[in-house]
């Protein structure tokens, strides 16, 4: 009888939790929502209102995976996202059947040649192979899928030494770049240590590329992977400031003594925010606070601009000071707002014979871990408008040969990189593509510290999901496929090197199908 009574009690509890429990919860929510004063829809229609808010909450995910077309959605469509993910995982960018691009839309196209180049005719150094890991699919059925990872030797697709892009040739320690693709600025703090380690470790496996530290300073995780670094200095002077917030030449010299740091970059503006950086207090751990010399767990807002300069003469003085005390190239990160801005800058370079060794040009479509919608949507020209303006202005004033242009702003595929180079860039870089290569799923939680993939968070539990030894190879493979694609496009254009891609290889097709050489667009 005791045994039977036990079954009866168990059955009763089961009925309660499966039937009465949910009904009770619904009734509670019904009467609670009727009395709350915050939401009108819940007061009038409690159950339908709850369903409405649930649908609204999961709407972005539903649209991304089920309802939006492959070429819809921003900032990246599903198709663009896959073009970053798949090369990193499988070391291949091969597709079948045909392109999903809408060719009826206006846009830039690269001119192909009647007589393309053979692989053996290309000016490329593939002498030292890169050891990496890629995935191979064993089976891919409706209800089952298996794949395995294997080690492979991959071609590096490097420029020969004599073709290297030299930044700051007159500096004590010029920066010689033999790869075209680098990682744009991302700070430790905006990203967690596992993400930084995966990025640094993956980039270091591919000679010729670089990573930008972002304005949060040079962290141990940037250095640990062994990658070449461009050390960014933001208006908050993190990593280069005294406790009083003043610029420290001693800290600059300390950074410059590290051979991994190849150049310094002064961040004047970023495409998604014409202001200083922002990081929520919960992401500012004690370690991050120590690197930046700020108070732990306090929200940080960098000044809108540097207090050390407010015009071209004082900016150029600051550039000279950093170059003289570091012996390394110095660049600026800017966003172009008009031809007038570019002309004023170029004219001052010509007049003084001074200026930066490189310009990181960010487009208004660039990303950020945290910004304001009004700044992200409407300030600063998109990259494909800004690039020819800057390039043309520097040429008109006779100073283009003194400065290299590194372009960023949704340059995530080889064809986008080739178009950027045709528009005037010497090199290209990306931030979000590298984030996606280490696991970002575009959850739009970068500013909350709740990134579900452990990329843009300092939460140890969430970071545990990002395995460094797995993701670093994705970074390596992404860079290799980008480089290979650039050489493939150059060969199709009849060129033996991507360094020879120029505006003459670019045409523009309008919405009526008419085609214009790039030079005609510039004349208009």
Contact (CB, 8 A) for 383 and 410 = yes
pLDDT band at 280 (very low <50, low <70, confident <90, very high): confident
pLDDT at residue 369 is higher than 60: no
Whichever domain contains 246, its CATH number is: 3.20.20.70
Of 22, 29, 57, whose CA–CA distance to 43 is shortest? Answer: 29
pLDDT at residue 378 is higher than 90: no
pLDDT at residue 74 is higher than 50: yes
- Helical (H) or strand (E) element with 169: none
Which segment of 4-18, 93-107, 239-253, 305-319 scores lowest on mean pLDDT? Answer: 4-18
Residues in the chain: 524
Pairwise CA distance, residues 177 & 165, whole Å: 5
pLDDT band at 1 (very low <50, low <70, confident <90, very high): very low
Query: Residues with Cβ < 8 Å from 401, sequence gap 6 or more?
Result: none
Distances (CA, A) of 230 to 107, 259, 386, 430: 32, 11, 23, 13
Q: Which of 13-22, 315-324, 406-415 has the highest mean pLDDT?
A: 315-324
pLDDT at 377: 59
Q: How many CB atoms lie within 10 A of CB 370?
A: 18
Give the domain-ending residue among 67, 82, 116. 67
pLDDT band at 371 (very low <50, low <70, confident <90, very high): low
pLDDT at residue 316 is higher than 50: yes
Pairwise CA distance, residues 232 & 216, whole Å: 8
- Counting the structural domains of the chain, the total is 2
Of 516, 230, 519, whose CA–CA distance to 391 is shortest? Answer: 519
Burial of 514 from C-beta contacts in 10 A (0-12 / 13-18 / 19+)? exposed
pLDDT at residue 217 is higher than 70: yes
Q: Is residue 55 part of a domain?
A: yes
Percentage with pLDDT > 90 across the chain? 50
- Residues 433, 382, 356, 397, CA torsion sign: positive
Q: How many CB atoms lie within 10 A of CB 447?
A: 17
pLDDT at 18: 58
Pairwise CA distance, residues 352 & 333, whole Å: 20
What is the residue-averaged pLDDT of the chain?
A: 86
pLDDT at 2: 46
Q: Is residue 151 part of a domain?
A: no
Q: Is residue 463 part of a domain?
A: yes
H, E, C per residue of 211-245 = EECCCCCCCHHHHHCCCCEEEEECCCCCCCECCCC
User: What does the pLDDT average to over 200-209?
Assistant: 95
* Same domain as 190, residue 47: no
Q: Is residue 372 part of a domain?
A: yes
pLDDT at 306: 85
pLDDT at residue 9 is higher than 80: no
Q: Is residue 109 part of a domain?
A: no
Strands, E, within 356-505: which ranges? 358-362, 404-408, 427-430
Contact (CB, 8 A) for 376 and 273 = yes
pLDDT at 13: 55
Residue span of the structural domain in which 288 resides: 180-485
Pairwise CA distance, residues 12 & 9, whole Å: 5
Q: Is residue 311 part of a domain?
A: yes
Give the domain-ending residue among 43, 67, 91. 67
Which segment of 72-86, 362-376, 492-506 scores lowest on mean pLDDT? Answer: 362-376
In the block, residue with structure tokens 């290979």: 484
pLDDT band at 297 (very low <50, low <70, confident <90, very high): confident
pLDDT at residue 432 is higher than 80: yes
Which segment of 341-345, 414-418, 454-458 scores lowest on mean pLDDT? Answer: 454-458
Q: Which of 41-45, 189-193, 224-228, 254-258 has the highest mean pLDDT?
A: 254-258
Higher pLDDT, 68 or 391: 391
Q: Is residue 524 part of a domain?
A: no
* Same domain as 475, residue 352: yes
Q: Is residue 160 part of a domain?
A: no
Which segment of 84-98, 370-384, 440-454 scores lowest on mean pLDDT? Answer: 370-384
Half-sphere exposure of 356 (CA within 13 A, CB side): 25
pLDDT at 327: 97
Which segment of 380-394, 399-413, 440-454, 479-493 scores lowest on mean pLDDT? Answer: 440-454
pLDDT at 445: 81
pLDDT band at 58 (very low <50, low <70, confident <90, very high): confident
* Same domain as 188, residue 59: no
The pTM (predicted TM-score) of the whole model is 0.86
pLDDT at 93: 85
User: What does the pLDDT average to over 313-325?
Assistant: 97
Q: How many CB atoms lie within 10 A of CB 142?
A: 5
pLDDT at residue 40 is higher than 80: no
Give the domain-ending residue among 51, 67, 83. 67
* Same domain as 205, residue 60: no
pLDDT at 319: 97
pLDDT at 315: 96
Higher pLDDT, 69 or 121: 121
User: What does the pLDDT average to over 2-10?
Assistant: 53
Burial of 325 from C-beta contacts in 10 A (0-12 / 13-18 / 19+)? middle
Percentage with pLDDT > 70 across the chain? 86
Contact (CB, 8 A) for 479 and 181 = yes
pLDDT band at 78 (very low <50, low <70, confident <90, very high): confident
pLDDT at 521: 77
């Amino acid at each position: 009888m005791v045994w039977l009574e036990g079954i009866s009690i168990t059955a009763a509890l089961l009925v309660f939790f499966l039937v009465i429990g949910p009904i009770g919860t619904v009734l509670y929510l019904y009467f609670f929502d009727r009395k709350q004063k915050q939401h009108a829809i819940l007061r009038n229609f409690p159950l339908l209102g709850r369903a409405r808010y649930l649908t609204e909450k999961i709407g972005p995910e539903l649209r991304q995976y089920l309802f939006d077309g492959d070429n819809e959605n921003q900032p990246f469509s599903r198709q663009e996202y896959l073009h970053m993910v798949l090369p990193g995982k499988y070391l291949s960018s091969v597709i079948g059947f045909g392109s999903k691009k809408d060719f009826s839309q206006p846009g830039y196209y690269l001119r192909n040649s009647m007589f393309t180049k053979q692989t053996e005719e290309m000016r490329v150094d593939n002498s030292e192979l890169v050891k990496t890991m890629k995935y191979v699919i064993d089976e891919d059925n409706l209800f089952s899928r298996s794949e395995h990872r294997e080690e492979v030797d991959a071609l590096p697709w490097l420029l020969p030494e004599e073709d290297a892009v030299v930044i700051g040739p007159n500096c004590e320690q010029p920066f010689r770049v033999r790869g075209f693709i680098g990682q744009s600025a991302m700070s430790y703090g905006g990203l967690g240590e596992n993400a930084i380690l995966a990025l640094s470790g993956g980039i270091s496996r591919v000679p010729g590329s670089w990573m930008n530290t972002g304005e949060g300073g040079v962290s141990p995780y940037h250095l640990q992977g062994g990658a070449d670094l461009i050390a960014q200095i933001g208006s908050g002077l993190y990593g280069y400031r005294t406790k009083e917030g003043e610029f420290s030449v001693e800290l600059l010299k300390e950074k410059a003594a590290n051979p991994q740091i190849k150049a310094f970059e002064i961040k004047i503006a970023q495409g998604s925010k014409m202001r200083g950086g922002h990081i929520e207090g919960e992401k500012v751990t004690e370690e991050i606070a120590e690197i930046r010399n700020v108070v732990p767990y306090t929200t940080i807002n960098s000044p809108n601009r540097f207090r050390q300069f407010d015009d071209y003469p004082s900016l150029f003085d600051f550039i000279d000071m950093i170059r003289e005390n570091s012996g390394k190239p110095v660049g600026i990160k800017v966003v172009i707002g008009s031809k007038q801005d570019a002309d004023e800058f170029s004219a001052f370079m010509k007049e003084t014979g001074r200026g930066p060794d490189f310009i990181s040009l960010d487009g208004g479509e660039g990303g950020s871990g945290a910004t304001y919608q009004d700044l992200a949507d409407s300030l600063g020209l998109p990259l494909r408008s800004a690039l020819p303006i800057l390039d043309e202005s520097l040429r008109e004033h006779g100073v283009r040969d003194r400065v290299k242009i590194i372009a960023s702003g949704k340059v995530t595929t080889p064809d986008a990189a080739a178009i950027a180079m045709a528009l005037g860039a010497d090199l290209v870089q990306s931030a979000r593509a590298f984030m996606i290569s280490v696991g970002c799923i575009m959850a739009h939680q970068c500013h909350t510290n709740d990134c579900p993939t452990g990329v843009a968070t300092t939460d140890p539990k969430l970071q545990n999901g990002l395995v460094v030894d797995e993701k670093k190879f994705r970074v390596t493979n992404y860079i290799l496929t980008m480089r290979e694609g650039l050489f493939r496009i150059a060969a199709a254009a009849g060129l033996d090197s991507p360094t020879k891609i120029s505006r003459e290889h670019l045409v523009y097709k309008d919405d009526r199908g008419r085609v214009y050489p790039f030079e005609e667009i510039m004349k208009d």
